[in-house]
Structures are given as structure tokens and as C-alpha cells.
Chains A and B, each alone.
Chain A
């Protein structure tokens, strides 16, 4: 009952975090990786001592591509022995030139990784990503409405879907906000794996929400069977449902977090950001399922009751 009684506090926390995230997104935005905006990235590892960034930049400037590369590229260090050069998408000949210049300088180097994605492909990836997010959200609303179609009293079944979506959008906005901040200060980029992680978070968060709603449905069923004098109020039923499922939700999220944390700290570099999005998303996903989604049912119920009483 603690959770239901203090729902305003929890709404407050969530709204606060969401507002901060939205502000960060509006002010700084997300930095798209080459998956979405096209471009190239070449990662080189030096066998000896890594030369200074200025030396590498001078070599690249000397290449004289058309259109000129000047001021349109970035060189970032990776670890102690590598650089990644990020620039516009380049042709095969240009790539050959760039590789030659970077690997045969004073210190020998090796190209570890190279990506070049044309702008058309990038836009297509962005379009597909957005469509998949929209579709997943839609599918989830429909699915929940269908699953809970028999629970129309006292809160109608489509509202279960609606409140799940509100809780889910909170799960999507906050990690995005975090990445806007990380992007601004540390250059973190958003690529197709980010979108994938987001979708996983949605799927996972709805898991939790379903478990709580399921319990509400079950308890409502039991409650309806009882004689009037024993019937509990709706908010009491919801509160008890949350209590009953609390341990389970936290346990599952904890187990999954263990897996993802192992992935973040010990897994391959390519999936580190992916794991980070998952960690944030799973954490807030569980939070939203327990503290927000069911409380919204109660709030809605109270609003309906108030309207009834005023008639």
C-alpha cells in the first residue's frame, strides 16, 4: 500500500527525470552514428608508439581529396594504441589512400576496422528504425488490450493498454535523455544497436507490467466473488497486487541486470553502449512497471469516482 499511497511522490520523481531528459534531448539532441547519417570510420592500431593526433591530422590534411576533407573529420583515441578517424563516406580509391597514409607513416599501423555507409543507406536505416519503434508500441497496446479484454470493470481494458504505453514512453525517454547528455559531453553516438536495445527494453518492461496487471486482474476476480461487505476498494486491490508481485519483479530484473552488467564490463567493445542502454532501460523499466503503471490505474479510478460523486 505504501506504493499506492505515495503515488504522487513516484509520479514526481518520474516526471522530474522525464523533463530533464526531454530538455537534454531538445537542447543537445542525439548524435547519430554513421549507421544513420552515413559516413566512414576507420580504426587503426599502431604497432609502436602511437603518434600525436596533430601528426595524424597533418597526414590526413595532406591527402587533398575532393571535396576537401578539411575540418570535416574527427580523430578520436581508443585505448592507448589506436585512433578512429571519422569522416564523410569515401570511395574505394579514397579509402585505399587513407589506409596507405595512416598505416605506412613513421610508425607502422594496421587497420582493425573500417565502415563506410552511403547516405541513402543511412536514411533507410533511420526510417526503418523509426517504423519498428512505432510498430512495436502499437503491437504492445493492441496485445495488452486483447489480453485484458475481460477485465472491463472498474477500469476499462483499453486503459490498461494506455497506461502501459505511458509507462513505456517513460522507459524510452529517460535512456534517450541519458544518451543526449553522454553524447554532448563524451561524444556517445546513437546507432542501430541503440534502437535495438530500446526495443528490447520495451519488450522487457511490458513483461513486468503484464505481471502486475495480471495480478490485479486475478485479485479483482477474487474480489468480485466476495460479498459486498467484504469487497475491497479498487486501490487496495491494486496495492496488494503490487506487493505480491514486487519481489518477483525485482528478482527478475536483478537477474537480467546481472547478465547485462557482465556484458557491459566484460563483453566485446562493440556491444558496450548496447549494454549500457539495456542497463538503464531495464532499471527504469522495472521502476515504471512497479511504481507508475499500476498507480495510473488507481489515479484513473479515483478521477472516475470523483466525476461520479460530482454528478
Chain B
């Protein structure tokens, strides 16, 4: 008996400590463990880009997307956003063989969409192309020949750029943009120039033909120059911008903005407040209900519920889980469902009491019999949460599914450990009428 009471006490103390940790880490000014809030609660912008991977072999897509992700992340960081998130999003489920080609950019606190998009969008796409060998003489002479038709891609593009610099060409008096390829790029460039001496190498920027130098020699040092078109001070400014953009990263793939979402900070704050308020209210209402309906076990359930809430919140902080409005809704929902396990046990207990068992036995039997139901019904909720998580198309739904799943798991844990321990610790041998009443049994 003493061991059980000690265990119950330990549990309460642990629960209290967890709760204190949750409270303190949220309120203390220098805490590194505050709740992570999603964009809909913090305010901010989410941009989704679709990358055109049609020209790539399917094996290359994943690498190209990773490079794209890195490039955009560098640009976003240069923009000075606090804690941006840039992620490659899985489109399709793998069963259909779709390779992912979407990029999700989360910019917390940024509400100036125009600037954000302009800055990301400015990332130029750089391509080196060769004369199309399949062109006939007639087509070559045609004045309406398009640059796209005249030149074919070589696979040498912005991915292989290591550095770009602004330089001044003494002979022409113009600004030029110098390019330095990385090792792999330099090799490709060397091969390209070696095999195509005398031919034109076309440099395309953002799909536009920028310059057409003729290859005179094999270039082994990986250096190239974009010249022409950068005249005067305006030209110099343009070249400088280009150099900056190239250095922050040339895009390996063309991208298109397919979705924008912004939430103003005040709306986010209002939502957070409302969500917290609703949560506290839900907890209070459920507590009142449980105590009125189940009396002493109800009170135990409420304490277990408090421990449950503390554990959940601690997990959200530590994993961390980004909380969104649906996420908090999911948590509130799981609080309501967490009492379910307790109710199952209590109802069983009441039955056992009424069929004449002693209190201690009734408690044990209640748990034993109720466990199967608890296990089965919580498993079905977990299955739903898993499917939701895998198939969610937005961060909002993913957040909900995760919070919900954590809630179900923790509720199973607290019902079986916390509730059980506390119930068993109440003196149960030869329980008198008063205690039986408190436990909800009918007194004869």
C-alpha cells in the first residue's frame, strides 16, 4: 500500500515539475524553448514554387531540387528573415512515381510579400548552350529563327558556378561579368570548349540570349566572361546586380510561384489568444463534468488530465512541434478524448462495484477489462492520424495530424499509469460506504 502511495506521490511531483518547466520556458525572457508557432499564429508569408524539371532525367531531379533549395535559402537568409524554412515538398506519394518538384518557403514575420517574391524571383537562371547541329542551311538563314531553336542545351548551367565578379574591360570600356566554375563545372566547360572550337557558345540568362562568344580554344581554368550589353553607368549597375544575384546562387531550374499565403501579425496574435482561451475553457468544463459525474475518480481523472496536458505541451516544446491553429484545435480535441480512457475504466469499475466486488478488486478488474477497448479504439485514431499525416497537402493539416497522434499516445500512457496509480493508492481494503459512494458505486 505504501509503495503505491509513494508511486502516486512521485507521479504527482513529476507532473508538477513538467508543468513548471512548460510554464517557465514560455514565460522566461531568455528561454530557448518557447513554443514554435506556425505562420498562421505568428504572422508571416508562405510561398510555394513549382520547379520545371521537364528537362532533367528522373535521377537528377532530386539533386537539382536540393541545389535549388540551397540557393533559395541563401537568398532568403541574405534578406534577413528570422528562421526561414525552405523545403522541398513531396508531390505525389511515390506510388505514382512523381518526383517532388515543389519548393515551400516559409518566412515568419515577413508580410511584405512583394519584396520577398521579388528577391527570390530575381535569382537568375544561367545556361550555356551550343549551336544546334540539326539546323539546315535554310533555317540558319531564316531571319525569324528563334534563339531557342538555334541553340541546344549542354547541361552546363548555373549549378556549376562557383563565383562571379564585376570587371571592367579596358578595350571596350564596358563592364563585364566574369564567371568562375567549380571543379566539376570547369571539367565540363573544358570538354565543351575542346570539342567545339570555332563554334558559338550561347550564354542564356533567364531564358534570354545574352551573349554569343565564339569558342577559340579549349578553356581549362573554368573561367568565362559575359560581355556586351553593359554599357555606361546603367550597364555597370545592371552588371553589378547580376553579379550579386549570381553569387547568391544561380538557379539550376526555372521556377514559378504557384501559391502565396500571408497572415498579418495582429490576426495571428488574435488567433493564438482565442485558441489558448478556448483550450483553458475546455479543460475547465471537462473538469467540472468529470467531478460532478464521477466524484472522486473524476477528480483523479482531472489530475491525470492536468499531467496529460503538461506532458503534451512539454513534447511540443522539445520535439519541437510547430503549433498552428488547427494544431491547437487538435490538442483541445485530444483533451476531450483523453478522458475517454478514464471513463471506460470508471464505468467498468462501477459495474464491478455494483456486482458486489470489493473496491480494490473493482479497480483492478476495471483496468483489466477496459484495457482492450482502450487499445483498440486508440489504435483506430492513430491509423487515421497517420494517413492524415502522409496525405496532407498543407502544413496546417500536417500539424494537426502530428498533435493529434501525440495526444492519443500520451493519453494512453497517462490513463494506464497516472490514473491507475492514483486510484490504487487510495485505501481500498474494507472500503466503507462513504468511499464507495465517492467511487460512484450504488450504496445498498
Contacts and interface: CB of A to CB of B under 8 A. Distances in A.
Interface of A: 35, 43, 91-92, 95-96, 110-118, 120-121, 124-125, 128-129, 131-132, 135-136, 139-140, 143, 147, 192-193, 196, 199-200, 202-204, 206-208, 210-211, 214, 218, 244-245, 247-248, 251-252, 254-260, 262-263, 265-271, 274-275, 278
A255 B286 CA distance: 6
Contact of A210 (B260, B271, B377): B377
Contacts of A254: 289
For the complex of A and B, list the 3 residue pairs with the smallest distance between their C-beta atoms, beginning with the closest.
A259-B336, A256-B336, A203-B384
Contacts of A115: 259-262
A267 B329 contact: yes
Contacts of A120: 50, 258
15 contacts: A114-B262, A116-B261, A117-B258, A121-B48, A124-B393, A129-B393, A136-B383, A196-B400, A210-B380, A248-B344, A255-B339, A263-B278, A267-B329, A268-B328, A274-B329
Given A112-B267, A259-B285, A266 B380 contact: no
B282 A263 contact: yes
A250 B91 CA distance: 41
B332 A114 contact: no
Contact of B271 (A95, A218, A268): A268
Contacts of B113: 92, 95, 114
Interface string B381-406: 10111011011111011001100100
A274 B326 contact: yes
Contacts of A125: 393-394
A247 B346 CA distance: 11
Given A120-B50, A259-B336, 4 more contacts: A114-B260, A128-B392, A256-B336, A260-B333
A132 B388 contact: yes
B379 interface: yes
Contacts of B381: 203-204, 207
By size class, the interface of chain B is 35 or more
B383 A252 contact: no
A135 B267 contact: no
A138 B343 CA distance: 28
B50 A260 contact: no
A128 B98 CA distance: 14
A280 to B, nearest CB: 14
B333 A259 contact: yes
Contact of A266 (B277, B290, B383): B277
Nearest to B265: A112
Contact of A112 (B266, B378, B387): B266
A143 B379 contact: yes
A117 B393 contact: no
Nearest to A211: B373
Contacts of A266: 274, 277-278, 281
A110 B121 CA distance: 25
Considering residues A95, A132, A193, A245, which has the most beta carbons from chain B within 10 angstroms of its beta carbon? Answer: A132
Contacts of A118: 50, 258-259
A207 B325 contact: no
Nearest to B267: A112
A151 B336 CA distance: 31
Interface in B9-65: 40, 48, 50
B384 A207 contact: no
Given A92-B257, A113-B263, A196 B388 contact: yes
